[in-house]
Structure 1
Amino acid sequence: MKKTNSELSRRTFLGNLSKAGILGVAGLSPVAAQAGSLLTPSSPQEPAAHAFLCKPYLQHPAPDTITVTWLTTRPCYSWVEYSAEGQPARKAHSVTNGLVDANNRLHKIQLTHLEPGKKYSYKIFSKDIAEFQPYKLTYGSTIESETYTFTAPDPKAKEVSWVIINDIHDRPESIPHLMGLSGQAPYDFVFFNGDVFDYQSDEQQIINHMLTPCGNTFAPQTPFMYVRGNHETRGKYAREWHQYFDNPGHANYFSFTWGPVHAIVLDTGEDKEDNHPVYAGIVDFDAYRAQQAAWLEKELQSPAYKKARYKVVMMHIPHYHGGEWHGTVHCREMFGGLFNKHKIDILICGHTHTYGVHPPEPGTHNYPIIIGGGPKDGNRTLIKVKADQKQLILTMLKDDGTKVGEYKV
């Protein structure tokens, strides 16, 4: 039956009213709602106010560089001004194939030629691009952040410390709570060992449930690294997830040396068979883990690995003490023999939601397997690692501050 104009107008009005109600229930501000997805520009009819969507967060710590990352509501030209104490400010922007990165909302700017161990201050700037014609670019207003500080990574430091969070599953309040357990002890970086989310929905979820709590707690001053769990591989936005994070080597699996530690990080993928109906034929994690195993075998024979005082591996799914699901068994087949052969010192995992310290079992795993807790109150954990020239000590705290595990190398 043909609808009248008045009926159509009423449907449109009610539809818009429903959308507004949904946004209100979700707790999204008008600016955030207008910002939308990274891949979807703001509506030309209702342009978003020019603003930062999160505080800057530090990524890709390396011997003489670090990357400052942030998001804006509108396409911009962005830069960072930074300096060491007593030195003139420098300006950094990102250049790709001769073009300065611009007209984008996700900003990643690498600060280079840093002196290891030295303290730097920085501010971020984003200049709105009001109009971008082939031969005429019109700028709007410029916004800037407050001044932040960080200490440049020093891979040759005598000691290193870091904290590990895993399996918080879309509970953003867990980030400041768990980070608060670290006390006054300094740490060089934060490591997220997978399943920060239940699944990937959109950009706003990443902002609300990770970037904002990290930004309000530590991320403008201290870098973090992040490996996927099996839940980060799920959802319609899983294929965009990687754009927001940048680890050493610009990869989802990677290695780095910091102080006396050489760390290897593996991306263990999904926990079910690739042909499981829930994946609808669009995953291939068996081949991906085999690819990592080939890389791992070379990495375990590298000079950096052999020279390091401590050899640490971090990955989400433990290949023992985690049941017999396909992902667990396949990780065992791909990685377990290599870990034993090349004598890693310690393996740190998550996934099971049952925290524990599993000592070496000769012939099975000749090294301890440490597993962090799960998302529920009373089961959340913070793992603290500190390594110097004498020992590496790992301490696991429950969310009430109680020590529930310890291991020394």
Structure 2
Amino acid sequence: MQKNTTYNRRNFIGDITKAGLVGLLPRPDFAEQNDAPVKNSAGALFITKPYLQNLSPTACTVIWITGKPCKSWVEYGTSAPDKKASHASIGLIDANYINKITLSNLQPGTKYCYRICSHEISDFQPYKLTWGADEQSELYYFTTPDTQEDNISWVVLNDIHDRPASFPLLFSLVKDFKYDFVFLNGDMFDYQTNQQQMIDHLLSPLGNIFSTTTPFIYTRGNHETRGVFARNHYNYFENPDNRYYFSFTRGPVHFVVLDTGEDKEDDHAEYGGLAAFDAYREEQEKWLAKEIETPAFKKAPFRVVMMHIPPYQSGDWHGTMHCRALFNPLFNKGKIDLLICGHTHRYGTYLADDATHHYPLVIGGGPLESKRTIIKVNANSRELKLVMLRDDGTEVGNVTVESRKRR
């Protein structure tokens, strides 16, 4: 077992305030519920760079935000951007601030170039549109997964808690590690305030590092359920099955992603009667019971679960105990190979235990200096290797799992 650094996540906001770091937290005046951003200082339409979501062998979703409502499209292709895609529903082409366009019928294992394009609608009358500025981006690139890929790599971050400066520091530790995608394993924020927080504390930092060319997958944490903007959160991301719990296969790994919800009881005074996470977790339990019986799950050399709140090593709060009661028996029954979590702010690796969890459990740290971690994982059809690094580059955990076909 990896020795843990002790830190009480329940007191970390108070500790920050005492340390004079309260300026890193979202300001109270963020709390207007407004998802229409102001044009940026350069007067350009694009408020964010494009970022990739839900990449598969045959599809990829491109999302970006504009400062005005726009008609938007993506130009893309292999040797040149000679194809065009937009998004329409119920007969209407989108005219939004949040532009979300899926490129379909792609070829597996193929490199594509793409650029985003938007045309401002400056006045939207019933029978007359007035067009404003238009803008297109530089060319970006991504590669669709090969259906026969044998080797995949990914990195995991968790519990950043509104500290965008943590992203470039942590990613600098894996600059020589080629990763296919990134898992954001919950609590990127302290609470949800407005779109500008989403842009400044997440989308722009990630866009400057990797997300124009490499997709990320968002695993919701308990702090993503809090605040006036929490119900707008999903508009900015796209997951398989269009929900926060889902499964997918990449190469030798079948991934199961669960949404552990809040960590306190639904009737806790803080939620004002607006929480229903027990029923939501029970819904996921029923789905998981079917998931572990699917051919994709059973045949995979490795089965990896990603979720925010760990069922063990996380005290006896309601969310932990409910996740333990609902999910852990199914994890054991399905013989998962690895569970990666966050939430506790204490990094640690915990070996399989016949009395509790029959699989290795890895918990990432965060959010303060010397507590932050980044996890890198590589898997082929024979072996899965995980290494967890602290923010000073020190290795603080590792797990190696052999393929079930070799056991």
- Would the alpha carbon gap of residues 131 and 319 (structure 1) be closer, same or farther in structure 2, given more than 3 Å must change? same
Larger RCO, structures 1/2 (Cα 8 Å, 6+ apart): 2
Q: Is the 8 A contact 2:192 2:225 kept in 1?
A: yes
Q: How far has the Cα of 1:155 moved from its partner?
A: 4.3
1:231 paired to 2:223 = yes
1:116 paired to 2:122 = no
Number of aligned positions between the proteins: 373
Query: In structure 1, how many angstroms separate the alpha carbons of the residues matched to 2:65 and 2:127?
Result: 26
Which of 93, 104, 124 is the aligned partner of 1:100? 93
Deviations 1:229-248 (A, max 9, x none): 11010111111111101112
Deviations 1:142-170 (A, max 9, x none): 11111111111334311111000000100
The equivalent of 2:279 in structure 1 is: 287
1:405 paired to 2:397 = yes
The equivalent of 1:331 in structure 2 is: 323
Query: In structure 2, how many angstroms separate the alpha carbons of the residues matched to 1:371 and 1:190?
Result: 16
The equivalent of 2:78 in structure 1 is: 84
Query: In structure 2, how many angstroms separate the alpha carbons of the residues matched to 1:208 and 1:391?
Result: 38
Query: In structure 2, how many angstroms separate the alpha carbons of the residues matched to 1:49 and 1:355?
Result: 43
The equivalent of 1:74 in structure 2 is: 68
Q: How far has the Cα of 1:363 moved from its partner?
A: 2.4
The equivalent of 2:366 in structure 1 is: 374
Q: How far has the Cα of 1:133 moved from its partner?
A: 1.9
Which of 131, 143, 148 is the aligned partner of 1:139? 131
Q: Which amino acid aligns with 1:64?
A: T
The equivalent of 1:55 in structure 2 is: 49
The equivalent of 1:12 in structure 2 is: none
Q: Is the 8 A contact 1:59 1:66 kept in 2?
A: yes
- Would the alpha carbon gap of residues 131 and 289 (structure 1) be closer, same or farther in structure 2, given more than 3 Å must change? same
Q: Is the 8 A contact 2:53 2:62 kept in 1?
A: yes
Q: How far has the Cα of 1:63 moved from its partner?
A: 2.6
Query: In structure 1, how many angstroms separate the alpha carbons of the residues matched to 2:339 and 2:153?
Result: 16
Amino-acid identity (%): 55
User: Helix, strand or coil: the match of 1:61?
Assistant: coil
User: Helix, strand or coil: the match of 2:221?
Assistant: coil
User: Helix, strand or coil: the match of 1:55?
Assistant: coil
Query: In structure 1, how many angstroms separate the alpha carbons of the residues matched to 2:336 and 2:48?
Result: 38
User: Helix, strand or coil: the match of 2:235?
Assistant: helix
Query: In structure 2, how many angstroms separate the alpha carbons of the residues matched to 1:360 and 1:131?
Result: 61
Query: In structure 2, how many angstroms separate the alpha carbons of the residues matched to 1:203 and 1:41?
Result: 7
Q: Is the 8 A contact 1:42 1:48 kept in 2?
A: no
Q: Please give the residue correspondences for 1:2-401 in structure 2 after superposition, counting only pairs within 5 Å.
A: 37-38=34-35, 40=36, 49-85=43-79, 89-102=82-95, 104-401=96-393
Q: Which amino acid aligns with 2:148?
A: K
- Give unmatched runs, 5+ long, in structure 1: 1-24
Query: In structure 2, how many angstroms separate the alpha carbons of the residues matched to 1:153 and 1:112?
Result: 14
Query: In structure 2, how many angstroms separate the alpha carbons of the residues matched to 1:293 and 1:264?
Result: 12
User: Helix, strand or coil: the match of 1:239?
Assistant: helix
- Give unmatched runs, 5+ long, in structure 2: 1-22, 402-407
Deviations 1:190-232 (A, max 9, x none): 0000000000000000000000000000000000000111101
Q: Is the 8 A contact 2:264 2:318 kept in 1?
A: yes
Bigger CA radius of gyration: 1
- Would the alpha carbon gap of residues 345 and 390 (structure 1) be closer, same or farther in structure 2, given more than 3 Å must change? same
Query: In structure 2, how many angstroms separate the alpha carbons of the residues matched to 1:192 and 1:219?
Result: 12
**Taking structure 1 as the reference length, what is the TM-score of the superposition?**
0.88
Query: In structure 2, how many angstroms separate the alpha carbons of the residues matched to 1:314 and 1:401?
Result: 23
User: Helix, strand or coil: the match of 2:114?
Assistant: strand
- Would the alpha carbon gap of residues 41 and 206 (structure 1) be closer, same or farther in structure 2, given more than 3 Å must change? closer
**Alpha carbon RMSD of aligned pairs, Å?**
2.0
Q: Which amino acid aligns with 2:71?
A: Y
**Taking structure 2 as the reference length, what is the TM-score of the superposition?**
0.88
Query: In structure 2, how many angstroms separate the alpha carbons of the residues matched to 1:137 and 1:345?
Result: 56
Q: How far has the Cα of 1:101 moved from its partner?
A: 1.1
Q: Is the 8 A contact 2:370 2:391 kept in 1?
A: yes
Q: Which amino acid aligns with 1:216?
A: N
Query: In structure 1, how many angstroms separate the alpha carbons of the residues matched to 2:57 and 2:90?
Result: 24
Q: Is the 8 A contact 1:316 1:351 kept in 2?
A: yes
Q: Is the 8 A contact 1:62 1:248 kept in 2?
A: no
Q: How far has the Cα of 1:116 moved from its partner?
A: 1.5
Query: In structure 1, how many angstroms separate the alpha carbons of the residues matched to 2:384 and 2:90?
Result: 43
Q: Is the 8 A contact 2:33 2:228 kept in 1?
A: no
- Would the alpha carbon gap of residues 329 and 302 (structure 1) be closer, same or farther in structure 2, given more than 3 Å must change? same
Q: How far has the Cα of 1:95 moved from its partner?
A: 1.2
Q: Which amino acid aligns with 1:222?
A: T
Q: Which amino acid aligns with 1:89?
A: D
- Would the alpha carbon gap of residues 206 and 213 (structure 1) be closer, same or farther in structure 2, given more than 3 Å must change? same
Query: In structure 2, how many angstroms separate the alpha carbons of the residues matched to 1:48 and 1:106?
Result: 19
Q: Is the 8 A contact 2:57 2:109 kept in 1?
A: no
Q: Which amino acid aligns with 2:190?
A: D
User: Helix, strand or coil: the match of 1:240?
Assistant: helix
More deviation in 247-256 or 292-301?
Answer: 247-256
Q: Which runs of 4+ in 1 moved over 3 A?
A: 40-43, 47-50
Query: In structure 2, how many angstroms separate the alpha carbons of the residues matched to 1:182 and 1:108?
Result: 29
Q: Which amino acid aligns with 1:66?
A: C
Deviations 1:295-339 (A, max 9, x none): 001111111101111000000000001111000000011101001
User: Helix, strand or coil: the match of 2:192?
Assistant: coil
